[in-house]
Amino acid sequence: MTEQFNPFTIAQQQIDQAAEKLGLDAATHELLRWPMQEIKATLPVRMDDGSTKIFHAFRIKYNSARGPAKGGIRWHPLETMDTVRALSAWMTWKTSVVDIPLGGGKGGVVCNPKELSTGEKERLARSYMRAFFKNLGVTKDVPAPDVYTTPQIMAWMMDEYETILGENHPGVITGKPIALGGSRGRTDATARGGIYVAREAASVFGIGLEGATMAVQGFGNAGQHAALLGEEELGLKLVAASDSRGGIYNPKGISAAALVDYKLKNGTLKGFPEADAITNQELLGLDVTVLFPAALENVIRGDNAGSLNCRMVCELANGPTTPDADRILDDKGIIVLPDFLANAGGVTVSYFEQVQNAYNLYWELQEVHWRLDKKMTQAFHGVHEMSQRQGTNLREAAYLVAIARVAEACKLRGWV
């Protein structure tokens, strides 16, 4: 049987498994298998050379039973509706598993931002907001940055929304620059939340992290901060990292700060001194304590999962491990910290940003870190306790916790 790589099909399979174990009735199960609202838009954008280019865009609200939808906007040349559907489902379970009063949503634009000028990015950002503004807002659906979108792009979108309404609404977007109502601690929140979860998991499973090794697959924002915080918070030693152009390896250790500086200056990891070139696949098979997949979905699959030699996988990307790979990793005794738990730090601090916007009162960095640590620690132990009760792995346990909460909210509302 051919392995399934459609992310939404995978997301639905995961829902089906949890629904069966929870004993959900047919109507609730079917409701949770599908987004509640899907919107497509065609965006004409004036390019710098005077021509007009057409972009295809999406916004999906998966479920809002527990609160307004929440989820990032991805700009990627391979963006698809099914990818956005899957991501909006995972956002629903993500907000639920960390127990914040939000639902799940996601957005996307089919584009290659690396080929766009600053002005073209701004015009695309504003065009996106003009297309979707009626469906967005603090009581409806709140976007945030995701793959290849930035605080600056969020600032343009927020400004367009406020221009249309003629009012200040900083909470309509999170992940904004601090000067426009962003939260301290948002930039590294995805990685920091994963670091907190890895710390708690290592303690529970008896894995020593001080002086142990890590490899980071995907060296964007989350991957860079995972490397930095892995050193700083956990005492891990970075031995390998990779990006879309390839990877590097040095078993003696790589300075995370030096590698981040090199990547920011050169746009690539290739050529980093005192390290050997390796492929992404070779990186996945390295004998390390913690592997951080921090790129895109379907990186660890049935055809390569058998080569993994790590003790723990901390998923900072969304959907990096397929169901076939999960079964193989389970058999190998590799602990997998599932994506919608491990990378929930980003949406958690986005939620903190919404709270601060609403109060017009902003927290110091130390308070953000303390609140994030508390949320992620509670979420991990809740999932681990479910795992122990049900005799299942952490991913299945996280689904049981999250889906049970959303199903309860749907029933209390009288939807099913």
Give pLDDT tens digits for 304-346. 999 999 999 999 998 899 999 999 999 999 999 999 999 999 9
Q: Both 160 and 194 in a single domain?
A: no
pLDDT score at 5: 81
Domain co-membership, 304 together with 205: yes
The total number of structural domains in the chain stands at 2
Quick check: helix, strand or coil at residue 36?
coil
Catalytic residue among 61, 70, 106, 121: 106
Q: Please provide the DSSP assignment of 218-277 as one string.
A: --SHHHHHHHHHHHHHH--EEEEEEETTEEEE-TT---HHHHHHHHHHHSSSTT-TT-EE
- Is 8 within a domain? no
Strand order in the sheet with 335-337: 276-278, 246-249, 237-243, 213-217, 290-293, 312-314, 335-337
Of the candidates 206, 71, 223, the residue with the CA atom closest to the CA atom of residue 146: 71
**How much is the pLDDT for 45?**
98
In a domain, 358, yes or no: no
Q: What distance in Å separates the CA atoms of residue 26 and residue 266, rounded to the nearest whole number?
A: 53
Q: What does the alpha-carbon distance between residue 361 and residue 402 come to, in Å, rounded to a whole number? A: 30
- For residues 151 and 218, membership in a common domain is answered with no
Question: Residues 175, 145: contact at Cβ < 8 Å?
Answer: yes
Same domain, 317 and 228: yes
Sign of CA dihedral 135, 139, 141, 142: positive
Q: How far apart are CA 378 and CA 384, in angstroms?
A: 10
Rounded to an integer, what is the distance from CA 66 to the centroid of its chain? 19
- Residue at which a domain ends, from 342, 377, 395: 342
Does the pLDDT value for residue 43 go beyond 80? yes
φ/ψ (deg, to 5) at 183: -95, 140
Residues 164 and 212 in one domain: no
Domain holding 96, by residue range, is: 35-169
What pLDDT is attached to residue 386? Answer: 97
The confidence score (pLDDT) of residue 319 equals 87
Tens of pLDDT along 55-83? 999 999 999 999 999 999 999 999 999 99
Residue 64 belongs to a domain with what CATH number? 3.40.50.10860
Judge whether 105 and 71 are in contact, CB under 8 Å. yes
Polymer length of the chain: 416
- Once rounded to an integer, what is the mean pLDDT over residues 242-256? 94
Residue 1 has pLDDT above 60, yes or no: no
Residue type for position 302: G
- For 187-215, what is the mean pLDDT? 97
Query: What whole-number distance in Å separates Cα of residue 181 and Cα of residue 178?
Result: 5
Angle at 350 (CA atoms; ends 345, 354), nearest 5 degrees: 150
Residue 249 has pLDDT above 60, yes or no: yes
CATH number of the structural domain spanning residue 206: 3.40.50.720
Q: Which two tokens stand for residue 205?
A: 């499973």
Q: Which residue has the tokens 């400004």?
A: 159
Handedness of CA 151, 152, 153, 157 (dihedral sign): positive
Asked if residue 305 is part of any domain, the answer here is yes
Residue 148 sits in the same domain as residue 214: no
Q: Which neighbouring-strand residues pair with 104?
A: 63
Cα–Cα separations (whole angstroms), residue 369 to 37, 59, 60:
34, 30, 30
Domain final position from 342, 357, 388? 342
d(CA 167, CA 101) in angstroms, rounded, equals 25
Q: Is 61 a catalytic residue?
A: no
| Same domain for 208 and 135 | no
Q: Which residue has the tokens 């290659």?
A: 112
Residue 182 domain-assigned? no
The edge-to-edge listing of strands for the beta sheet with 141-145 is 37-46, 52-63, 104-110, 69-76, 141-145
Average of per-residue pLDDT values in the chain = 96
Please say if the pLDDT value at position 2 is more than 90. Answer: no
Asked whether residue 407 is domain-assigned, the answer is no
Do residues 214 and 389 lie in contact, with contact meaning Cβ atoms separated by under 8 Å? no
